[in-house]
Amino acid sequence: MTKITPQSKDFAQWYLDVVKEADLADYSKVKGCMIIKPYGYAIWEFIQAELNSRIKKAGVQNVYFPLFIPESLLNREKEHLEGFAPECAVVTHGGGKKLAEPLIVRPTSETIMYDTFSDWIHSYRDLPLKINQWANVVRWEMRTRPFLRTTEFLWQEGHTVHATSEDAAVEVDRALNMYKDFDRDFLSLPVLTGKKSRKETFAGALYTLTTEALAKDGKVIQAGTSHHLGQTFAKSFNVTFQDQNSVVQHAWQTSWGLSTRIIGTVIVCHGDEKGLVLPPKIAPHQVVLVPIFKTDEEKTRIFDELNGIKEALEALNIRVHFDERDTVTPGYKFNEWEVKGVPIRIDLGPRDLEKSEVTVTRRDGDKFNLPIGDLEQEVPYILDKIQENLLEKATLFLKENTREASSLEEMVKILDEKGGFIKVPWAGTDEEEKKIQDETKATIRIIDPIKSTEKLKCFFTGRETDTLVYFARAY
């Protein structure tokens, strides 16, 4: 296998090396698009299954809407159109002929869905409407990296319709907390959560809530978002309902989503110099069994024992892969499964067999022997500890790399030397925020939901404020 570039030398190249060597994805013939390979797609399937379960428990139903959106629908919401126009792919010909109306390849589905909602919703009895779509979307990107930023990607997009702004706000908070809990419990990812600045708010929304994760190179990633859309789209697409007093009102709406970018997030937040590090809950193989033998007799005895171990662990719903290949050495297998981030590797050789024990290697480096008879009890415990330890490590990293600054100069110095989140008092305008972005490449990632108990001076303008924000450089 190719040697992986050290993170300290070139983090961007390290990332590309890991995606390739861990066999997660490949490049397609279309610039900016990726082929998700079986190992990478299996990770997405575990993420999808868990998140889909949480979505359904919230009373949200799955649907599917068309990939193509008539241009006229996108034009009906001006702010939304302006936000997505530079990223849109447009189909002008089909069936050998020029189309009467250009079709937009779905960058997101608000417009085509809400035009339909106007036909589905008539009365307050039809509310709330809660739907979710698992789909692909296309946003024309200039600079791309597998999973983190691609022209086409997979995601889920939830859309809900409510009778009041308060009901919509409750849903926006629910979706955000769902993502936060999912990140923490399933991906071992601690995230900062809060409201986006006006400048960073989703096009057409009243406000946007976000989850922000911190990568090991000090940059942050927007992992999931939840938007309160107000009545903006309802007015553009005539989504109305008759209330209990027979008065026709415009509805209040939300949308929320998480994409395959979350796989890239896991890579850059947990990965190390050796390659991918996977939380057990999303690992395609939670345990890999590697036989070590020289003679056919040894092979037969060791294979019989490992097949018994595999059967016993699978009975506990543990995902086990028995690496039976005889075309590569055990050392090659050790390296391959380390790069692929498998949480536990179990090796069995002739000497181990004589002692009725195996050698267990955790992906985080711990190596020890265990009696074969103890594996059914110990392996589930070890998997839980790995999941827990990854969260503890990432939480400590987040805490150590969240700092404060009293001036723009100090903020830039910290970002240049260490990266991470910079917590500062803020009383700036959209224009002043953009000026900071242009000068430093840092943006407001979240507005702290907790107001300061005392008046502070904005680190940039000097104006008084009780608002704190977190700046960072982002992917």
pLDDT in tens, 41-50: 999 999 999 9
Verify that 223 and 303 share a domain, yes or no. Answer: no
pLDDT > 90: percent of the chain: 93
Give the model's confidence band at 204: pLDDT under 50 very low, under 70 low, under 90 confident, else very high: confident
In sequence order, which residues have a C-beta less than 8 Å from that of residue 130 and are 6 or more positions away? 58, 59, 60, 61, 158, 159, 160, 161, 171
Q: Residue 1 has what pLDDT?
A: 56
Verify that 249 and 109 share a domain, yes or no. Answer: yes
Locate 165 and state its tokens: 């702004």
How many helices (H) and strands (E) would you count in the chain? Answer: 14, 25
- 312: domain CATH number is 3.40.50.800
Q: Mean pLDDT throughout 106-128?
A: 96
Verify that 371 and 436 share a domain, yes or no. Answer: no
Q: Is 294 helix (H, G, I), strand (E, B) or coil?
A: coil
Let me know if residue 279 belongs to a domain.
no
Whole-number Å distance between alpha carbons of 341 and 261: 18
Whole-number Å distance between alpha carbons of 415 and 3: 29
Q: At what angle do helices 261-270 and 165-187 cross, to 10 degrees?
A: 50
Tens digits of residue pLDDT in 364-381 = 889 999 999 999 999 999
Q: Residue 459 has what pLDDT?
A: 97
Q: Residue 389 has what pLDDT?
A: 98
Domain end position, chosen among 325, 350, 382: 382
The answer on pLDDT for 182 being more than 80 is yes
Q: Mean pLDDT throughout 333-352?
A: 97
Q: Residue 75 has what pLDDT?
A: 84
The answer on pLDDT for 83 being more than 80 is no
Q: Mean pLDDT throughout 40-66?
A: 98
Give the model's confidence band at 460: pLDDT under 50 very low, under 70 low, under 90 confident, else very high: very high
Q: Residue 80 has what pLDDT?
A: 63
Nearest CA to 341 out of 391, 281, 296 is that of 281
User: 138-176 burial string, b = 16+ CB within 10 Å, else e?
Assistant: bbbbeebbbbbbbbbbbbbbbbbbbbeeebbbebbebbb
Give the model's confidence band at 453: pLDDT under 50 very low, under 70 low, under 90 confident, else very high: very high
Handedness of CA 55, 58, 62, 66 (dihedral sign): negative
Whole-number Å distance between alpha carbons of 290 and 337: 10
Give the model's confidence band at 81: pLDDT under 50 very low, under 70 low, under 90 confident, else very high: low
Q: Which residue range(s) make up the domain with 289?
A: 285-382
Q: Residue 362 has what pLDDT?
A: 98
Locate 424 and state its tokens: 């500062």
Let me know if residue 391 belongs to a domain.
no
Give the model's confidence band at 85: pLDDT under 50 very low, under 70 low, under 90 confident, else very high: confident
Verify that 246 and 206 share a domain, yes or no. Answer: yes
Let me know if residue 105 belongs to a domain.
yes
Q: Residue 141 has what pLDDT?
A: 83
Verify that 77 and 33 share a domain, yes or no. Answer: yes
Whole-number Å distance between alpha carbons of 209 and 267: 23
Q: Mean pLDDT throughout 250-265?
A: 98
Phi and psi torsions of 190, nearest 5°? -80, 140
Whole-number Å distance between alpha carbons of 48 and 36: 14
> How many domains does the chain contain in total?
3
Verify that 103 and 180 share a domain, yes or no. Answer: yes
Conformation bin of residue 137: beta by default, left when phi > 0, alpha when psi is -120 to 50: beta
